[in-house]
């Protein structure tokens, strides 16, 4: 009897409270597991998503961002419109007098048709590298001023000349250009703010959406920027120039007519007095 009792012990009924506690613990354990698995999966997905956002998105923004200053044509021919930009160096003992150090011309597509470093007549005291980008070694193969002056005069003759504050560039080149053929982005009315001129970098940012002149200036980039500004406003700009010169011609004719009327009585009196 004793051995049978050991072999087949009677199972005592469990306390119902214990059953409830065990079920509760089981449900809590499964819930914690689900929570952990969801957290780890979220963490993985977040890290992968963030990882993809940082590098590829920035690369995409760099690679896919259109550069409006990049020429869209391989045509390097000389056309009716030419944009010019010059960089200056400092001469005289103080270095406060500007002299031509580099001149660049591009056609309507932004392709370079002329780009030369210039050896000024006076000795260079200040290369103004922080702005001009010109260094002493750049002038080793530079052309003399008169050679560059003649070539630029030949290229711009009879053409629309586009630039920013062109009077400074033409002054440095000792050249002039017909006013009716000048398109200066520093003087075009829609580009002015309260009749004040804007810097080229501000015009490029506002009207072209590009950043230029951050540090050393690039005359090729600057010439392309002014040409793009002109091309985007060409119709209205050319019309305003045409209308302005028409008005000036009309006023000139009126003044001549008035002068003639004033002189007519004097001429008649002189003729009458002659015996």
Sign, CA dihedral 236-237-240-242, equals: negative
pLDDT at 11 over 80: no
68 in a domain, yes or no? no
254 in a domain, yes or no? no
Average pLDDT over residues 210-230: 95
Residue 215 burial by Cβ neighbours in a 10 Å radius (0-12, 13-18, 19+): exposed
Q: Which domain holds residue 210?
A: 81-235
State the pLDDT at residue 250.
81
Over residues 56-72, the pLDDT tens digits come to 443 333 344 457 899 98
pLDDT at 53 over 50: no
Q: Is 158 left (phi over 0), alpha (psi -120 to 50) or beta?
A: left
Which residues are bridge partners to 184 per DSSP? Answer: 163
Residue 155 burial by Cβ neighbours in a 10 Å radius (0-12, 13-18, 19+): middle
Q: Is the pTM of this model over 0.75?
A: no
CA–CA distance, 104 with 84 (Å, rounded to integer): 6
242 in a domain, yes or no? no
Residue 158 burial by Cβ neighbours in a 10 Å radius (0-12, 13-18, 19+): exposed
112 in a domain, yes or no? yes
Measured CA to CA in angstroms, residue 268 lies from 241, 255, 258, 264 at distances of 41, 21, 16, 6
**Cβ-Cβ contacts under 8 Å for 28 (sequence gap 6 or more):** none
| CATH at 226 | 3.30.420.10
Helix 145-156 vs helix 166-173: angle between axes, to the nearest 10 degrees? Answer: 130
Q: Which residue did the predictor score with more confidence, 23 or 158?
A: 158
Kindly state the tokens that stand for 27: 């449900």
Residue 82 burial by Cβ neighbours in a 10 Å radius (0-12, 13-18, 19+): buried
226 in a domain, yes or no? yes
CA–CA distance, 119 with 222 (Å, rounded to integer): 21
Sign, CA dihedral 42-44-45-49, equals: positive
Over residues 105-132, the pLDDT tens digits come to 999 999 999 999 999 999 999 999 999 9
Average pLDDT over residues 194-214: 92
263 in a domain, yes or no? no
Q: What domain count does the chain have?
A: 1
Backbone angles phi, psi at 86, to 5 degrees: -125, 150
209 in a domain, yes or no? yes
pLDDT at 19 over 80: no
Beta strands 81-91 and 160-163, pairing class: parallel
Which residues are bridge partners to 116 per DSSP? Answer: 103
Span of 39-48, 74-83, 96-105, 176-185 with lowest mean pLDDT: 39-48
Average pLDDT over residues 255-263: 81
120 in a domain, yes or no? yes
Kindly state the tokens that stand for 122: 């006076």
């Amino acid at each position: 009897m004793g051995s049978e009792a050991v072999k087949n012990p009677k199972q005592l009924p469990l306390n119902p409270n214990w059953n409830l506690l065990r079920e509760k613990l089981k449900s809590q354990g499964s819930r914690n597991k689900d929570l952990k698995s969801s957290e780890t999966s979220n963490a993985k997905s977040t890290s992968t998503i963030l990882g993809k956002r940082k590098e590829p998105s920035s690369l995409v923004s760099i690679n896919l961002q259109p550069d409006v200053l990049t020429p869209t044509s391989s045509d390097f021919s000389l056309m009716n419109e030419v944009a010019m930009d010059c960089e200056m160096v400092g001469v005289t003992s103080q270095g406060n007098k500007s002299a031509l150090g580099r001149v660049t011309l591009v056609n309507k597509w932004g392709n370079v048709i002329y780009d030369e470093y210039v050896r000024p007549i006076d000795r260079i005291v200040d290369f103004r590298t922080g702005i001009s980008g010109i260094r002493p070694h750049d002038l080793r193969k530079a052309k003399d001023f008169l050679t560059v002056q003649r070539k630029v005069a030949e290229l711009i003759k009879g053409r629309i000349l586009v630039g920013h504050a062109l009077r400074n560039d033409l002054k440095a080149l000792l050249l002039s250009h017909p006013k009716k053929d000048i398109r200066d982005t520093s003087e075009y009315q829609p580009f002015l703010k309260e009749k004040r001129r804007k810097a080229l970098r501000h015009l490029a940012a506002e009207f072209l959406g590009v950043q230029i002149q951050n540090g050393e200036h690039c005359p090729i980039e600057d010439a392309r920027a002014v040409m793009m500004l002109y091309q985007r406003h060409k119709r209205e700009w050319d019309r305003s120039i045409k209308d302005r010169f028409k008005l000036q011609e009309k006023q000139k004719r009126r003044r001549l007519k008035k002068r003639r009327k004033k002189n007519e009585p004097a001429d008649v009196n002189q003729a009458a007095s002659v015996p």
